[in-house]
Amino acid sequence: MTGVANRQCAAKRYKPARFTAVLWLLVGSLVSAAVSAEGTLHDDWTRLLQAHVVATPNGHSTQVDYAGMAAESARLAAYLKQLAAVTPSQYQQWNESRQLAFLINAYNAHTVALVLQHYPDIDSIRDIGGWFSSPWSQGIAPLLGATRSLDEIEHKMIRGEKGFGEPRIHFAVNCASIGCPALRREAYTGAGLDIQLEDQTQRFLADSSRNRFTDGTLQVSEIFKWYRQDFTQGWRGLNSLAAFLAHYAEALSLTPEQTQQLQNRAVKIEYLDYNWTLNDTQ
């Protein structure tokens, strides 16, 4: 075989390999671009959270420096404008994890913005509004082509019939109160959402000021009373509140015996009063 023929034969053999390598590079670039685009969308929110959210001494919750947030209101407004610029068609092209992360971030950022509109003249988010308008029913959030209320974002878009079936969101959406789970010091992302939600859940359940086993009774946050149905709809095969809580026995510091009793529904569950005081650092 001549040298020319050898080179032609080699070219034919290696062309598929080169094509495959180029294809994977292209796919990798597209994935990286998608991750980068998501990160860029929420970058300002992460910066604000890291600058103005601090962990409480027990590490299970956080407080917000609302005065510091107010000083950077322009950055917060710019972030909310970025969220408002996302079109419904763009949103529909994302996977469910990225969609849910987007909605959680929107809920939390608009909650902070709502508090700042009335700060420092309130002691609780419930001080906002009047007899016929709760803070959660006000149309404050331009999002996906409409002006939404916090209630609409949480109860229709996240939890509704066409929602995500994800009970751990209750440890991620933040109502600006001491009784709430921690406002996370980073934006939620589609790529990291499962890990973030799991961390939030365990962090909240490990807080003995809000969830504890005392004298044969499991006392838990009122979150589990208000949204009990979300914990009984088969998430990961768990069809009862007791089963959900038993799944997190380690976070709740339950002994094997207590866990077994809980699984057998032989443990009384009580709900602790919710603390609606503003989660301010002041």
Q: Which pLDDT tens digit goes with each residue over 230-249? A: 999 999 999 999 999 999 99
Residue 178 lies in a domain: yes
What average pLDDT score do residues 24-38 get?
42
Residue 238 lies in a domain: yes
Rg (CA), the chain: 24
101-116 exposure pattern, b = at least 16 Cβ within 10 A, e = fewer: bbbbbbbbbbbbbbbb
Residue 14 lies in a domain: no
Helix 73-85, helix 96-118: angle, nearest 10: 140
Residue 163 lies in a domain: yes
Query: Domain residues for 68?
Result: 37-272
Residue 21 lies in a domain: no
Question: Which of the four pLDDT bands, split at 50, 70 and 90, describes residue 38?
Answer: confident
162 vs 18 pLDDT, higher one: 162
Structural domains in the chain (count): 1
- Predicted TM-score (pTM) of this structure: 0.86
Pairing state between β 53-55 and 62-64: antiparallel
166-215 pLDDT, tens digit per residue, is: 999 999 999 999 999 999 999 999 999 999 999 999 999 999 999 999 99
CB 63 within 8 Å of CB 54: yes
Peptide bond into 142 cis (omega under 30): no
Residue 229 lies in a domain: yes
